[in-house]
Amino acid sequence: MYKILFLIIIFFIIFYIVNNKILVNKEHYLTFYLPFYNPNLNNITNFYLNDDNNKNYLKKKFNYDPLYITSTQSNSDFVKVILSNFISNSNLMNAKYIMNDNELESIENLNNNIINLSINNITNLNYYSQILNKDIDNIKLVTNLYKEYIYFITKNKYNVQFISNIPPSFKIGIINNPDSMFFYYKILLKTLSLKENQDYHPVFYKNQKELFSAFVKDECNLIIFFDTFPSKSLSNLIDTNVGEQIILLPFKINNEDVFLKKNYFIQSDYIDLNKLSKSYLPKKFSDFTYTKFRPFFKCCYIKKILLTNNDANEKYVYNLIKFLYETYRELNIDHEEYKIDSIDIDTKTTQIIHYHPSVLKYFKEKGYITFNDNPNCGILTGKMECNNKNLANNNL
């Protein structure tokens, strides 16, 4: 009898512990993730009228509209970083990354509202609009992103000093359609006064791997391609072919100002060759000498751009530009090759495409856009909207 009573008491003790410890904690854990729960909600009708069943515990409504973003394989790491961070800081519930190495096709899909976002570049957009004569009124700019450099690579034995003084009938390797350089190389070399099949002969390759292999085998004398800096693939090319005396041609051309005006989306820059490859320096050719202590190399680049369309959810676009503006410095820390210099008004890209209205709204709130003629508005730029109230609150 006592044994049975003892077992019953033990059973109730165990039941009490499980009910008050494990189950309660489990309930708290689930409540944290389940739709917003309000213990003080008296009128259940308001729960549905306010759409509270579609909100999380922070009382923010979930957004179920799909978000489709596309980019090339080379940009995939960058996209995954952006998406993972954006999703964790928003109410986005349905996002899908679509890898597509045909950036012109991505622009076409964006223009036809098949996708919402595309990481692309201005040369592709220019080709799509000007050469293919496509209407791009439906496409809008979100922001500029990181730099994509134009590399001119040759070998010391060819005695080429600059890109503009290549020997006649030089073979130039280009990655074939749909690579971005395929759509741009003619315009680029024509601006440098080089005529195709006269001053040079283009040789096309399927991808960067085949391009590099052909270059090492001397099937082409010079290769031109887009890539980030630092570039893992370029560093690997140099490290595995030390004896080939591979050289990067600096961006030094006649009438550089004229060239940059004709190619308004190209900018010049200096990179630190110490970050390229330990096998590259020291390097001397022609009048150029680069060492560990004199590593700065002049080159040119374009900016990768984030595009959207008029059909995109306005809140998505607003929250995305807000997220990028507030976090890009933090994202730069672990991703130097995708380093974003700034998120602000760009006057070069907007020569061909306009900003999305939600982006303009955010820039206005940050003081980059104002209709107030007060000269002190510059002090508020990047901080808050320049209006009479904010000027007065800051004693301006």
Average pLDDT over all residues of the chain:
84
Task: Read off the pTM.
Answer: 0.80
Instruction: Indicate whether 157 belongs to any domain.
Output: yes
Q: Is 80 exceeded by the pLDDT of residue 5?
A: no
Look at residue 326 and tell me if it is in a domain. no
Note whether residue 273 is domain-resident.
Answer: yes
Residue 325: pLDDT over 90: yes
Residue 388 lies in a domain: yes
382/255 same-domain check: no
Given 305, 330, 350, which residue is the final one in a domain?
Answer: 305
Residues 375 and 232 grouped into a single domain: no
Pick 9 or 285 by higher pLDDT.
Answer: 285
pLDDT band of residue 92 (cuts 50, 70, 90) is low
Same domain, 244 and 381: no
- Exposure string of 226-265, with b = 16+ CB inside 10 Å and e = fewer, is bbbbebeebbebbeeeeeeebbbbbbebeeeeebbeebeb
Instruction: Identify the domain boundary among 271, 305, 339.
Output: 305
Do 251 and 370 lie in one domain? The reply is no
Torsion sign over Cα 20, 21, 26, 31: positive
Same domain, 297 and 162: yes
390 with 290, same domain: the answer is no
* Per-residue model confidence (pLDDT) at position 347: 83
The encoded tokens of residue 196 equal 């195709």
- Indicate whether 167 and 300 sit together in one domain: yes
pLDDT in tens, 149-182: 999 999 999 999 888 888 888 999 999 988 899 9
**Residue 58 maps to a domain:** no
Q: Which of 305, 336, 355 is the endpoint of a domain?
A: 305
Do 296 and 163 have their domain in common?
yes
- Contact (CB, 8 A) for 241 and 157: no
336-368 pLDDT per residue, tens: 899 999 998 888 888 899 999 999 999 999 999
Distance CA 29, CA 37 (A): 13
Judging by DSSP bridges, how do beta strands 139-155 and 267-272 pair with one another?
unpaired
The total number of structural domains that make up the chain: 2
Question: Would you say residue 352 lies in a domain?
Answer: no
Domain that holds residue 236: 146-305
Give yes or no for a contact between 273 and 295, defined as CB atoms under 8 angstroms apart. Answer: yes
pLDDT band per the 50, 70, 90 thresholds, residue 214: very high
Claim to verify: residue 162 and residue 243 sit in the same structural domain? yes
Residues 371 and 294 in one domain: no
Judge whether 248 lies within some domain: yes
The model's pLDDT over 25-80, given as tens digits with 9 standing for 90+, comes to 443 433 334 444 444 544 544 544 454 444 444 445 544 567 788 888 888 888 88
In a shared domain, residues 294 and 376:
no
Do 233 and 378 share a domain, yes or no?
no
* CATH number of the domain that residue 262 is part of: 3.40.190.10
What pLDDT does residue 316 have? Answer: 87
What's residue 31's pLDDT?
Answer: 38
Where residue 11 falls among pLDDT bands split at 50, 70, 90? low
Return the higher-pLDDT residue of 290 and 18.
290
